[in-house]
Amino acid sequence: MHRYIAWRLLIAIPTLLGVTLLIFSMVRLLPGDPVDFIVAHSSHAVALDRDLIRRQLGLDLPGPVQYFHYLSRVLRGDLGRAIMFNQSVSELIRRELPYTVRLAALAISFVVLLGFSFGILAALKPNSWYDSAIMATAVVGVSMPDFWIGMLFILAFCIKLRWFPLLGPESLRILILPALVLALRSTAIIARMLRSSLLEVMGEDYIRTARSKGLRERIVIAKHALKNALLPVLTLLGLQLGGLLGGTVIVENVFARHGIGYLAVNAILQRDYPLTQGIVLVMAVVFVGINLFIDVVYSYVDPRIRYG
């Protein structure tokens, strides 16, 4: 297992190098550059010296030279300086990441709690009224865009019922609504997946054997069925975690929250090359880490899986 983890970490290096090259090229392929944004955002009351600003930012250098400078800085642990914010990229990410992590952590808790509960409940009595209700709700949850649900939640729970504040210091209460909105789609997906996975497993011979041994249904589900039904759900959960980080972009905007998602959108719109590159690189590291973690968890859930 240790050798496998070491191998995975080793192959993460070319993966991340590929990410740096890809994102470096992609942001520069977009029309416009940081200077265009600076000019667009100014008052237009006085002509800015575009060439001087471009020179100052090193954007007058040939692309390969810029990439070499960027890579050598990254290898020294320096992600550069954000153009609009005039601040170190690492510092900005360090400042914003905790907000997103807190939101995503609560959202994933909701996904696990609600997704598993509804999935199991629906699988216990397939085609019952509550199975139909759960699956119908799940379809709605998957289909509704985050920004729309966010606005509906604000209207219902902040404005009409006044159960939750919209603004205020970071607290569990202020996190609940955005985390719920963020979790809704993944909850629906997990519930549907767990239901079908469980239904498939429940038809297996070993479940019949377990029942015939006189085991209580709760034990049959928890100890025998669920453990085997979990494997595909775990893969999906890993993917959903990545999706949740992406989903923060919309939710952070609608709920006027800080976070890496909001920062990423701004960085792209502002053509802030160092900031976009820094955020994508950090996110890539997070994704590689999540994938590795899920692979390790596999071996614990299913002892038949061995890495060597």
Partner 1 sequence: MSSSNGKMIRMSVLLGVMLCVALVAGPVVGADPVEGGHLMIAFYSSIQDSADLCKATAVYTKMIVANGLDTLIAKDPATGQYYPGLARSWKISPDGLSVTLVLREDVTFHDGTPFNAQAVKANFDHIANTPDCAGKEAYSKLGVGKSLAGYEVLDEYTIRITYNQTNARMVENLADPFVGAMHSPAAFERYGDDYGQKAMVGTGPFVFVEWTGDQGKVVFERNEDYNWAPEFYGHQGPAYLEGFTVQGIGDPTSRAAAIEIGDVDMAIVEPTDFIRLQDAAGLKGWLQSRKGWGDLSINLSNPILQDLRVRQAIAHAIDKEAINESPVFQELGEIKYCEFTEGIWGSDPSPKEEFGKYNLDYDPEQAMALLEEAGWKDTDGDGVREAHGVEGVEDGTKLHLLDLVRDYEKSSHEIIQGMLSEVGIKVEVRVHDFATRETLLFEGKFDIAPWPTTAQSFFAFNEEMHSESVPFYNIGFYGNPVVDALLDGALATTDPELQREYYRLVAIQVLKDLASIPTVKIRNTWILKAEVQGVKSDLMSVGFDLYDAWMGQ
Question: Where do contacts with partner 1 occur on this chain (CB under 8 A)?
Answer: 30-34, 36-53, 56, 84-87, 92, 95-96, 151, 154-155, 158-159, 162, 165-168, 252-258, 262-263, 266, 269-271
d(CA 170, CA 95): 14
Give min distance, CB of 269 to partner 1, in A: 5
- DSSP class per residue in 226-252: HHHHHHHHHHHHHHHHHHHHHHHHHHH
Distance CA 19, CA 53 (A): 27
Cβ proximity to partner 1, 253 vs 291, nearer residue: 253
Q: Minimal distance in Å, beta carbon 283 to partner 1?
A: 18
- To the nearest whole angstrom, how small is the minimum distance from the Cβ of residue 32 to partner 1? 3
Tokens of 23: 């994102």
Quick one: CA dihedral 245, 250, 253, 257, positive or negative? negative
Task: Please state the closest distance from residue 163 (CB atom) to partner 1, in A.
Answer: 11
Q: Which two tokens stand for residue 210?
A: 């377990």
The CA-to-CA distance between both ends of the chain, in Å, stands at 6
Alpha-helical runs (H) found in 111-225: 116-124, 129-143, 146-153, 172-202, 205-212, 217-219
Distance CA 306, CA 135 (A): 35
Q: Report the nearest approach of partner 1 to the CB of residue 277 (Å).
A: 16
If the CB atoms of residues 196 and 276 are measured against partner 1, the closer one turns out to be 276
Query: 81 phi and psi, to 5 degrees?
Result: -120, 130
In the bound state with partner 1, the residue whose beta carbon lies nearer, of 118 and 255, is 255
Residue number, 131 or 252, with CB nearest to partner 1: 252
Q: Which is nearer to partner 1, 8 or 102 (CB)?
A: 102
Single-letter residue type at 141: G
CB of 18 to partner 1, least distance (A): 26
**Which of residues 193 and 279 has its CB atom nearest to partner 1 in the complex?**
279
Any idea what DSSP says for residue 167?
A: S
Closest contact distance (angstroms) between CB of 155 and partner 1 is 7
| Smaller CB separation from partner 1, 267 or 281 | 267
Q: In whole angstroms, what is the distance from residue 184 CA to residue 79 CA? A: 34
For residue 116, what are its two tokens?
């598993």
What gap in Å lies between CA 98 and CA 104, rounded to an integer?
10
Nearer to partner 1, 10 or 161 (CB): 161
Q: What are the φ and ψ backbone dihedral angles of 274, each rounded to 5 degrees?
A: -60, -40
- In the complex, the smallest distance separating the C-beta of residue 229 from partner 1, rounded to whole angstroms, is 39
